[in-house]
A and B are shown apart, each in its own frame.
Chain A
Amino acid sequence: MEQKKYDVIILGGGPAGLTAGIYLARGKAKTLILDTATIGGQMILTYQIANYPGVEKISGYQLSAIMKKQATTFGCEIVSNIKINSLGLDSPVKKVTVNNKITYTAPAVIIATGGRSRMLNVPGEPEFKGRGISYCATCDGDFFQDKEIIVVGGGNSALEEAVALTKYAGKITIVHEFDHFQAFEHAVTEAKNNPKISFIMESHIVEFLGDESLKAVKIKNLKTGKINKMNTDGAFIFVGYEANTHQLKDTGLELNKWQEVVADENMNTNLKGVVVAGDSRAKRYRQVTTAVADGTIAALSVLEYLNS
């Protein structure tokens, strides 16, 4: 197995990881960003960012490209689309083995693995992704012109995206597990007032059915236990976000009950030499600005640790 030594390894190349990369590389630390997917993280999911101070309007893709260029210009190395085989965080030398090929080592690691949209994890969901099931209304809405679709979820994104989808779809049924919505009042009112939208409450989707594309869903009423089949041409799923910490579970790192990494105000975790930044950290507000702030603090904490 090939070995490569760094001063700092950053797991995740979203805004938190890229910011940490910029600060560390400028601070002359030999820095590596590893990402299991595309650099940019959730910024890639954002068509337009209009609340990042200093930039009036920019696509998430462009903002990612600029941050990436800043980091590499200062000497930060970046490897994306990797697969992590093992992760050792609890000893003084941290180890990350990737692609069954290389082990990267460093005295310090920054966890900046962010978050992702939750899946429903029911039968048929992986098979019909892209064949009727979608997680992005802006991307795939126009495939459902005049069609009957369902939207799963009851938070702000579910209700706002359902309203946005009425531009295309003929009829939308929102399926939600509770008897009330966890969204802002104005979002609920707007959805309720839209003649194209109807609701099935206190129900779960238990299966997706179809042939070459999605044709129907099985819906279980949680009060009566009864399962009904409903025909549908599409399903948009917006059931919240979760922290990307699945691979961190057995590393000794302290996670809270939502599986987010617990840290102090300097981003230090319970493990020496391991700090966290961005959406994977236990915190209330998750934005590009807060991720960037976390990344700055994490990098400065690590520089202090390396010099101590």
Chain B
Amino acid sequence: MVLPTNLKHVATIEEYNDILKNNENVMICCGRMGPMCVPVYDVMEELQEEYSHVEFRDMLFDNPHAQIIRSLPEARGFMGLPFTIYYKNGKVVAATSSIQNREQITEILDREFN
């Protein structure tokens, strides 16, 4: 169960754990193919080259394994798709709910992953 985007996906909890273990900087956007989600995937796709030190992934919100993201303490109070989580050395360093533009995303990437 993955999203039909051009990004690399996260399909299972095992994969999620591997990605966090093997990458220093990770951004995962968990959503559907809705109007608030698509713009975030679009920006991530564009940033992949410029931010080659960051692992960009998406995850289908309705995949049962996405419970790992839905239940993060940092996502408490989130009531808008997508849930976007930023991890440094496996730890959550930032999280946003609902649509974000390129400026808002790069502000977090530059702050947390530089």
Contact = CB atoms under 8 A, between A and B. Distances in A.
Given A44-B39, A47-B34, A130-B96, A81 B81 contact: no
Contact of A140 (B46, B77, B81): B81
B103 A44 contact: no
A130 B98 CA distance: 5
Contacts of A81: 42-43, 46, 101-102
Contact of A234 (B32, B42, B79): B79
A134 B34 contact: no
Chain A at the B interface: mostly helix, strand, loop or mixed?
loop
Contact of B97 (A40, A59, A130): A130
A37 B101 contact: yes
A213 interface: yes
10 contacts: A45-B35, A81-B46, A129-B98, A130-B97, A130-B99, A132-B79, A134-B79, A134-B98, A139-B36, A143-B80
Contact of A61 (B38, B46, B101): B38
Interface of B: 32-39, 42-43, 46, 76-81, 96-99, 101-103
Contacts of B32: 139
A131 interface: yes
Contacts of A129: 80, 97-98
A220 to B, nearest CB: 25
B11 to A, nearest CB: 21
Given A134-B98, A138-B34, A139-B36, 7 more contacts: A38-B42, A61-B33, A139-B80, A139-B81, A140-B98, A144-B79, A213-B77
Contacts of B76: 212
B35 A131 contact: no
B32 to A, nearest CB: 8
A80 interface: yes
A-B interface, 5 closest residue pairs, ranked by CB to CB distance from nearest:
A130-B98, A130-B97, A130-B80, A212-B77, A213-B77
Contacts of A144: 79
Nearest to A82: B102
B107 to A, nearest CB: 12
Contacts of B36: 136, 139-140
B14 to A, nearest CB: 27
A165 to B, nearest CB: 13
B24 to A, nearest CB: 25
A83 interface: yes
B113 to A, nearest CB: 19
Contacts of A214: 79
